Amino acid sequence: MKLIVTAFVVCLLPLQVLAGVDIKPVRSAGGIDAWLVEDHSIPFMALELRFRGGTTLDDEGTRGAVNLMTGLLDEGAGDLDSQSYARALEDLAASISFDASDDDVSVSARFLSENRKDVLDLLRLALIEPRFDQDAIERVRAQILSGLRSDATDPDVIAGNTFSKLAYGSHPYGSSGDGTLDSVSGINRDALVAVHRAALSRDRLYVGAVGDITADELGVLLDRLLSDLPKEGGPIPEPVEVLISGGVTVVPFDTPQSVVLFGHEGIDRDDPDFIAAFVMNHILGGGGFESRLMQEVREKRGLTYGVYSYLLPKDLAAVYLGSVASTNDRVAEAVDVIRDEWKKFAEAGATLEELEAAKTYLTGAYPLRFDGHGRIASIMTGMQMQGLALDYINVRNDLVNAVSLDDIRRVAKRVLDPERLHFVIVGQPDGLESTKD
């Protein structure tokens, strides 16, 4: 197999592998920018499109409209109704999926080279000429309402929604982008047409392509696919202040194991300390069995199956979150241990041994992410949205290796705030009650 996604072993660190993904910037004749990784070894390609804004573009009264609209894009377009569209796509053995999240609407497509033109015609119809037929609206609405009814008794979702509300209040981040039973029931066709116009536009578009296509071919493809989208979309809300302060919120729910979501304000992706904070989090609770939280809560005490923490820098706010689940009569201990570890780390930082282990892991694991066309297309598109440079993949491990013990100590003091750590607990936790403001 020919290598375009090349990678090689370098000698900076004896154990390091570097994923030298060879990204080409492409600009179409019509002015659409994309990042491309060419690989002609397999006759197919993956295409990823993202439109910044996502469910934050919902109007207050029609929460869930962007999500419903996104779910309807392939439910009838042009002169094809929903089933004809699905059959056409199956005939071409292609897959196209649409998703709406807090910050973007994303489109992921995978198709054989021999069917490229036909698949792109179908995708274009979905993006430019969705029909929003009334029967399709009702059908997809019913699916979303069904999901919302399940969510209402799902402790993980209850915890997430409760935390969001406390953290962001009335900002769109403060509620689920899926909407509520009431809001979704009230969305009409006009609202869907409006959010379609607002959410899918060229001023907020990011494109990643991987596979069997040249730069020239990609340019032509993108112009045909996207040039009929509106130039400008609806206004994206202003950044929001993270409101949450320290304490405990118990949401009573009759289930044997309490589900806990904890966190406070985080750190922006473009903050100069972000990489140091990322390494710090890996040591504290970032996946892996070696993290302090995993060692203290699971390995030493058997209080949970899993405990994790993660930085979540969204477009309009940054939070630092974690999760754990423990039986109702043991969850209070898990919460205590986590709070202690948070405090300890804020005060004393990490050891040199921990830092070195984190660096070897993070730099070694990085190239393992680039496994497959779809994955690479998605990573590249995310990089563009975060404003990262074309060569970021090649320098990223150097950035990680440059983090010092002092950096970790400084960023731990700055970011970790045990006093402001808030725990949302869904269940019947023994010995824990909601704190008063």
Partner 1 sequence: MLHVTIEIVARGYGRVIRLMVAFGLWCIPLGVMAQSIDDSVTSFDLENGMKVVVIEDHRVPVVQHMVWYPAGAADEPVGSSGIAHFLEHLMFKATDTLAAGEFSKVVAANGGSDNAFTSWDYTAYFQRVAADRLDLMMRMEADRMRNLRLTDDDIVTERQVIIEERNQRTENNPNALFNEQMNAAQYLNHGYGIPIIGWLHEMAELEMTDVYSFYRAHYAPNNAILVVSGDVEPDQVRQLANQYYGTIPSDTKIAKRVRPQEPPQRAERRLIFRDPRVGQPYVSRSYIAPERDRGNQQQAAALTFLAEVLGGGKTSLLAEELQFNSEIAVYAGAFYRGVSEDDTTFDIVVVPTPDVSLQEAEDAMDTVIEQLFETGIGVERLDRIKRQVRASEIYARDNAEGVARRYGAALASGLTVADVQAWPDILHSVTEEQILEVARSVLRHDASVTGWLVQSAETAE
Nearer to partner 1, 270 or 299 (CB): 299
Nearer to partner 1, 272 or 368 (CB): 368
Could you write out the DSSP letters of every residue in 276-326?
HHHHHHHHHHSSSTTSHHIIIIIITT---S-EEEEEEE-SS-EEEEEEEEE
Which residues ranging from 61 to 90 are in contact with partner 1 (CB under 8 A)? 67, 70-71, 74-75, 82-83, 86-87, 90
**Largest Cα span, the chain:** 65
Using an 8 Å Cβ cutoff, are 8 and 40 in contact?
no
Which residues ranging from 353 to 412 are in contact with partner 1 (CB under 8 A)? 357, 360-361, 363-365, 367-368, 370-373
10 binds partner 1 (CB under 8 A): no
Binder of partner 1 out of 24, 202, 301, 339 (CB under 8 A): 301
Using an 8 Å Cβ cutoff, are 85 and 75 in contact?
yes
Size of the site for partner 1 (CB under 8 A): 84
12 binds partner 1 (CB under 8 A): no
Which residues ranging from 93 to 112 are in contact with partner 1 (CB under 8 A)? 93-94, 97-100, 110, 112
Q: How far, in Å, CA of 34 to CA of 31, rounded?
A: 10
Q: How far, in Å, CA of 416 to CA of 84, rounded?
A: 53
Nearer to partner 1, 147 or 237 (CB): 147
Q: How far, in Å, CA of 234 to CA of 239, rounded?
A: 16
HEC readout, 333-361: HHHHHHHHHHHHHHHHCCCHHHHHHHHHH
Applying CB under 8 A, the span of 40-48, 162-170, 222-230, 409-417 interacting with partner 1 comes to 40-48
257 binds partner 1 (CB under 8 A): yes
Question: Among residues 424, 401, 399, 172, which one has the least CA distance to residue 321?
Answer: 424
Binder of partner 1 out of 133, 223, 271, 290 (CB under 8 A): 290
In whole angstroms, the minimum distance from the beta carbon of 151 to partner 1 comes to: 7
Which residues ranging from 190 to 249 are in contact with partner 1 (CB under 8 A)? none
Query: What's 130's DSSP letter?
Result: B
Nearer to partner 1, 15 or 391 (CB): 15
140 binds partner 1 (CB under 8 A): yes
Which residues ranging from 165 to 184 are in contact with partner 1 (CB under 8 A)? 178
